[in-house]
Amino acid sequence: MKNIDLAKTGYKKFADGDIEGVLDMFDPNIEWHECQGFPFIEGNGVFKGPEAVAKEVLNLIPEYYENFNIEIEELMECDDRVIMTGYYTGTWKATGKKFKANAVHVWTVKSEKLSRFFQAVDTATIVNPVKAKAM
């Protein structure tokens, strides 16, 4: 399977709410780098292993967001990396405000498993969305 197809499958499973299916796609030693300043993440945002990612990130999403979604604008593959550019959308429960925030993911694939994740997200837009002014 191509690395980009592996990533597409992971995003589809996430969208379908199949978190166990997503976790099964991870290398047992996955290194997960959550964006610094990301809401609800404590510490440095680096987690090791599928169980830590589930506990510290994925299982918390429904607690903090309503209708959280990843809108993929583009997926690119380069050697053992897959890059996703797109947006996070949903409602931040603490404010009740809807958001659409820029997001970039960089995945590293090793032996047909997702082995590293790096995220860059406009966290300010998530916690304090600003409506675009008409031009």
Q: What pTM was computed for the model?
A: 0.91
In Å, what is the CA distance from 40 to each residue of 45, 64, 90, 110?
A: 10, 8, 15, 29
How many domains would you assign to the chain?
1
Segments forming the whole domain that contains residue 12: 3-126
- Which pLDDT score, from 0 to 100, does residue 50 have? 98
The answer to whether residue 131 sits within a structural domain is no
Residue 117 belongs to some domain of the structure:
yes
Which comes out higher in pLDDT, residue 31 or 132? 31
At 65-95, the pLDDT tens digits run 999 999 999 999 999 999 999 999 999 998 8
Residue 30, pLDDT above cutoff 60: yes
Within a domain: 26? yes
Q: What is the CATH number of the domain that holds 7?
A: 3.10.450.50
In a domain, 81, yes or no: yes
Give the Cα separation of 14 and 69 in Å (integer): 9
Q: Using 50, 70 and 90 to split pLDDT, how confident is the model at 128?
A: confident
Res. 119: pLDDT tops 70: yes
